[in-house]
Every structure is written in structure tokens, then in C-alpha cells.
Amino acid sequence: MTMITCHALDAVSGHHAAGLRVRLMLVRDNETDRELLFDLATDEGGRLHVPVDLGPAAADGDRCEICFELGAYVACQHPDRSGGPARMQALVIRFSPDQHATRLHFPVSITPASASVLMLALAE
């Protein structure tokens, strides 16, 4: 089992990004075959902790996509700043699972017009 964790911060308010929707998809070779592994929201501390079995995906050479739904979060938390076509709707990271990682951690910083993320693969 691999623990998928994230800690999301709202860089505008300086608070945790509670309620940020996060989805993890398994993407197979043909790009159209996708399996939803989870669809959850961050807790009050802007955190998410989900155990996921990524072993078969890593062995088969499949990839994963983690999607942070920024548009809905910003529209709810910062309605005065959420308009306009230049605003980000989602941050999607596609990665190959690491067979040796017991934890994948995604710290995310969010503003209405940008986001930054780091992916840490940890073997604990």
C-alpha cells in the first residue's frame, strides 16, 4: 500500500485549503482507459491521507493522475477573485508510481491565478 498525502495551503488567506477536491486516477497505456482510485476533499487542516494500492500500476507501467480542483475551491473561498478566463480550473500531475515508495506527498500552494506543487516519494 502507498499512502497518498497532501497538504494544501491558500496563499491568499494564509490558511489551510480545507475542502479542496482531490481526485486520483489510474491511466492505462491507451490513455482512454481510466480508473478512479479516489475522489475526496481535504480536511479542515488542508490535509488528505489515503491508502492506495499502486503496486499493480507500477508493475504494469501504468501512470497516475492526481487532480486538484482549484476552480471550485477559489470560486467558493475567493468569489471576488475567481472570475475571468485566465483563472486556473485544475492542477493535474501525471506520474509513474514508484514501487518502492510507501508514501507520495503533494504539498500544494494555491492562489486564484496560480498554484505550485512538489511531489515527494518517500520510502519510510
42 band by pLDDT with thresholds 50, 70 and 90: very high
Other CB atoms within a 10 A radius of the CB of residue 89 amount to 12
Interval 82-117: pLDDT, tens: 565 547 789 999 998 877 788 999 999 998 888 999
The per-residue pLDDT for 92 is 95
The per-residue pLDDT for 32 is 75
Give the E-state strand segments of 11-117 in sequence order.
Answer: 15-16, 21-27, 34-41, 47-52, 63-68, 91-95, 103-110, 115-117
10 near 17, Cβ under 8 Å? yes
